[in-house]
Amino acid sequence: MAEAKSHEAQAEELQQIRQSVVALCDKFPGEYWREIDAKREYPTAFVQALTEAGFLAVLIPEEYGGSGLGLTAAAAVLEEIQKSGCNGAACHAQMYIMGTILRHGNAEQKAKWLPKIATGELRLQAFGVSEPSNGTDTLSLKTRAVRNGDHYVVNGGKIWTSRAEHSDLMLLLARTTPREEAKSRSDGLSVFVVDMRETVGNGMTIKPIRTMINHSTTQVFFDDMKVPAENLLGEEGKGFKYILTGMNAERVLIGAETIGDARWFIKKATDYANERQVFGRPIAQNQGIQFPIAKAYAQTEAANLMVEKAARLYDEGKDIGPEANMAKMLAAEASWAAADTCLQTHGGYGFAEEYDVERKFRETRLYQIAPISTNLILSYLSEHVLGMPRSY
């Protein structure tokens, strides 16, 4: 009985979070996103509002000034943002990158950074993993961090480091032991918190990359950049393992975002189909219009179950490699099916910016490639879940 009550209380809390997020998002309608998209500007006012409302600190424990909620709550926040037509990509990383500090940082590191990340005084939005030369093969990354007394000297570079220009801190994955000397394939990589307020222009150069979406992504160059040794998280050489848990959380949250996108597209398509009159009747009366929308709806509901399951298992402290990957893949596919259907339902008007369909269509496409592509998820499931040979 007590347990049933606590489920009820949890559901009630989630419902309240969802309603508050929707109320906040109502202040940032399509016009806002269209304008910043055209100018390729960062949505500062939106991110500020989310920060002030505490939504970006839901995963930070209460003792560090956050709400101390789980991945299920964080997923609900991001789903509602996307479902409202907004774009959480501008700040979703502030929610989950700190998890690596929380899980692997020492007491001083946590006390130094987490409370300020919770208030937004410190923005931890940049995650430096991808590099130009190695692509998805993270273990081949070349950025080197070499210990020199009380600091490390970093050389190399990252690509697709999103929000680097709008962040104070970067979580950086770099090689501390040359690959040929490392004990295993995944050994020899380390994670650092880089204070970009000190390093930009001082060993670090950031170059924006203009893309088909407004994502504030960049290329970052390190040239003898000094990072204090006290900014190393956990043990040297064990960094890859540390970021994997964070990547699973990220996949679930991106899954929740794409569920939100899918729901936005389905509603937009349904409303338009019911309104638009062609041949003297609403186009929604044609099964050729109805069926793809209904199919995308079914796909979205099924994918959402996997997102919810992965979040719940994560909150229970379970290893969620398979579920996180499946959640992200299925949800991104559902959102893409919904996006394509929504555009088709709108006919020519889908291409007009004022409907917001083309913008969301571009935005949601990213998630079949980042943070991990569909092929790599299928490879993971084939090898690690189904026991087939590694293909690469």
Point out which span in 68-76, 110-118, 322-330, 374-382 binds ligand FAD (CB under 6 A). 374-382
Residue 127 as a binder of ligand FAD (CB under 6 A): the answer is yes
How many other C-beta atoms are found inside a 10 Å radius of the C-beta of residue 137? 11
**Residue 143 C-beta: closest distance to ligand FAD, Å:** 11
The residue (of 133 and 202) whose beta carbon lies closer to ligand FAD is 133
Burial 92-115 (b: 16+ CB within 10 A, else e): bbbbbbbbbbbebbeeebbebbbb
Residue 294 as a binder of ligand FAD (CB under 6 A): the answer is no
In the set 84, 162, 219, 304, which binds ligand FAD (CB under 6 A)?
162
**Residue 162 C-beta: closest distance to ligand FAD, Å:** 4
- Residue number closest to ligand FAD, CB atom: 135
The residue (of 72 and 216) whose beta carbon lies closer to ligand FAD is 216
Angle at 252 between CA 26 and CA 257, to 5 degrees: 25
In the set 1, 7, 317, 392, which binds ligand FAD (CB under 6 A)?
392
Residue 215 as a binder of ligand FAD (CB under 6 A): the answer is yes
Residue 139 as a binder of ligand FAD (CB under 6 A): the answer is no
**Residue 33 C-beta: closest distance to ligand FAD, Å:** 16
Q: How far is 240 from 243, CA to CA, in rounded Å?
A: 5
How many other C-beta atoms are found inside a 10 Å radius of the C-beta of residue 362? 16
How many other C-beta atoms are found inside a 10 Å radius of the C-beta of residue 34? 15
In the set 369, 381, 382, 383, which binds ligand FAD (CB under 6 A)?
369
**Residue 378 C-beta: closest distance to ligand FAD, Å:** 8
By rule CB under 6 A, what string of x and - marks binding of each residue 256-285 to ligand FAD?
A: ------------------------------
Residue 371 as a binder of ligand FAD (CB under 6 A): the answer is yes
Residue 336 as a binder of ligand FAD (CB under 6 A): the answer is no
Point out which span in 62-70, 77-85, 158-166, 236-244 binds ligand FAD (CB under 6 A). 158-166
Question: Residue 169 contacts by C-beta under 8 Å, 6 or more apart in sequence?
Answer: 113, 117, 122, 123, 124, 126, 193, 194, 195, 196
The residue (of 290 and 373) whose beta carbon lies closer to ligand FAD is 373
Point out which span in 51-59, 100-108, 156-164, 199-207 binds ligand FAD (CB under 6 A). 156-164
Point out which span in 26-34, 128-136, 248-256, 312-320 binds ligand FAD (CB under 6 A). 128-136
Contacting ligand FAD within 195-214 (CB under 6 A): 211
**Residue 216 C-beta: closest distance to ligand FAD, Å:** 9
Residue 231 as a binder of ligand FAD (CB under 6 A): the answer is no
Point out which span in 196-204, 257-265, 333-341, 364-372 binds ligand FAD (CB under 6 A). 364-372
Kindly report the backbone phi and psi dihedral angles of residue 224, in degrees, each rounded to the nearest multiple of 5, phi listed first.
Answer: 50, 45
For 117, the token pair is 């990340």
For 321, the token pair is 């490699």
Residue carrying the six token digits 């309104």: 275
Point out which span in 123-131, 224-232, 242-250, 325-333 binds ligand FAD (CB under 6 A). 123-131
Distance of CA 180 to the CA centre of its chain: 32
Q: Where on the chain is the footprint of ligand FAD (CB under 6 A)?
A: 127, 129-130, 135-136, 160-162, 211, 215, 217, 366, 369-373, 375-376, 379, 392
